[in-house]
């Protein structure tokens, strides 16, 4: 199967065109490509909660404008986008998600391709689960996008592992393309089990999901990898992450970072990049300095002792 590039950081563009204005977004995109970046991650609902229209599409449209301003750059990068979570009724989100019916899928990919100014995306994600629609119908509609060339391949974002496995089984039976990647919330710190997160629809990568991805050879992408700056500003930690294991892990992280002359953010990214399964972290810098810090993490290689110390999390 096709896998993502080794030690790849995907550039998250969620707030491009809303909180991150176009000139800054263009500068970040330019620097990312200059630094050898290849994957741009967006979604058709980004960022509906920030947009005056109450609808998504601004991030994709901003990327489309950047492509038009840089002829030929589309051949240098790969696009990852998602569908299923854009509000049908402006401002009513998430209650009016577009969902994953065959009609919604076909309509959404058409709008995404128009905004992006391209005839295909390289990786298309089912953004959220839709249990109101027959799963076999979803599998067929998503697989058809790969067969038609509008999507290079497909992945499941924020899906329960059992749903992914059921979808893959249905796809094998129907002989259609199916999920080859998972996208979940994952980083070095873990929230209290079952503790509610304030972020709608997020699914945290469980040990079982990590094992599933590694065993089945699925690419794993992770978002919220740096917890909104909480590794350097612990006061930003959400309540679900405030527990004794976090304190131990932050102390371990600081020790390893000091040993390598790196930042805590860089150690977290390096830990993800060389983990099992190997992870493609999505980064969301808002400044060039933040982008450079993250991209430098690709050159940080943790030795076995450091990895073992981090994996142990300071419990020994």
Q: 167-225, pLDDT tens digit by residue? A: 999 999 999 999 999 999 999 999 999 888 888 889 999 999 999 999 999 999 999 99
Rounded Cα distance, 139 and 144, in Å = 8
Q: What is the CA radius of gyration of the chain?
A: 19
* Structure tokens, 245: 């294991």
Residue 16 scores a pLDDT above 90: yes
∠ Cα 233 194 162 (to 5°): 115
- Over residues 123-162, the pLDDT tens digits come to 999 999 999 999 999 999 999 999 999 999 999 999 999 9
Mean pLDDT of the chain: 95
CA dihedral (222, 228, 234, 238) positive or negative: negative
Peptide bond into 277 cis (omega under 30): yes
Model pLDDT, residue 201: 84
Model pLDDT, residue 104: 98
Rounded Cα distance, 41 and 127, in Å = 12
Whether the Cβ atoms of residue 273 and residue 297 lie closer than 8 Å to each other: yes
CA dihedral 26, 5, 123, 196 (to 10 degrees): -80
Residue 4 scores a pLDDT above 70: no
Model pLDDT, residue 6: 66
Burial of 217 (0-12, 13-18, 19+ CB in 10 A): exposed
What mean pLDDT comes out for the span 236-244?
Answer: 95
> For the chain, first and last CA: distance in Å?
38
**Residue 21 CA: distances (Å) to CA of 35, 55, 57, 147, 207:** 21, 17, 14, 36, 37
Model pLDDT, residue 77: 98
- Over residues 259-280, the pLDDT tens digits come to 999 999 999 999 999 988 989 9
* Maximum Cα–Cα distance across the chain: 54
Rounded Cα distance, 269 and 294, in Å = 8
Q: Which helix or strand (DSSP H or E) is residue 80 part of? A: strand 78-83
Residue 68 scores a pLDDT above 60: yes
Model pLDDT, residue 313: 83
Model pLDDT, residue 212: 97
With cut-offs at 50, 70 and 90, classify the pLDDT of residue 2.
very low
Model pLDDT, residue 131: 97
Model pLDDT, residue 3: 38
Per cent of the chain over pLDDT 70 is: 97
Model pLDDT, residue 316: 60
Burial of 272 (0-12, 13-18, 19+ CB in 10 A): buried
Residue 1 scores a pLDDT above 60: no
Whether the Cβ atoms of residue 263 and residue 253 lie closer than 8 Å to each other: no
Residue 5 scores a pLDDT above 60: no
Whether the Cβ atoms of residue 96 and residue 55 lie closer than 8 Å to each other: no
């Amino acid at each position: 199967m096709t896998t993502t590039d080794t030690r790849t950081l995907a550039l998250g563009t969620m707030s491009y065109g809303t909180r991150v204005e176009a000139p800054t977004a263009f500068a970040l995109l330019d620097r990312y490509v200059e630094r050898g970046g290849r994957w741009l991650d967006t979604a058709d609902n980004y960022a509906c909660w920030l947009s005056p229209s109450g609808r998504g599409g601004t991030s994709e449209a901003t990327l489309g404008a950047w492509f038009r301003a840089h002829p030929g750059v589309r051949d240098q990068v790969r696009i990852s986008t998602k569908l299923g979570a854009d509000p049908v009724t402006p401002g009513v989100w998430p209650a009016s998600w577009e969902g994953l019916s065959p009609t919604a899928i076909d309509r959404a990919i058409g709008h995404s391709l128009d905004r992006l100014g391209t005839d295909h995306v390289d990786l298309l994600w089912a953004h959220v689960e839709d249990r109101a629609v027959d799963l076999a119908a979803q599998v067929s509609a998503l697989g058809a996008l790969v067969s038609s060339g509008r999507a290079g391949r497909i992945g499941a974002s924020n899906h329960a592992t059992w749903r992914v496995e059921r979808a893959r089984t249905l796809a094998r039976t129907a002989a259609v393309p199916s999920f080859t990647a998972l996208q979940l919330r994952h980083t070095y710190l873990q929230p209290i089990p079952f503790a509610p997160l304030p972020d709608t629809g997020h699914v945290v990568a469980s040990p079982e999901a990590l094992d599933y991805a590694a065993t089945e050879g699925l690419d794993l992408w992770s978002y919220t990898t740096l917890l909104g700056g909480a590794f350097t500003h612990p006061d930003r930690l959400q309540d679900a992450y405030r527990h004794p294991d976090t304190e131990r892990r932050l102390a371990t992280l600081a020790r390893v970072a000091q040993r390598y002359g790196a930042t805590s953010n860089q150690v977290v990214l390096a830990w993800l990049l060389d983990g099992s399964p190997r992870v493609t972290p999505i980064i969301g810098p808002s400044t060039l300095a933040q982008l450079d810090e993250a991209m430098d993490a690709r050159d940080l290689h943790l030795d076995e002792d450091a990895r073992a110390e981090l994996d142990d999390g300071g419990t020994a």
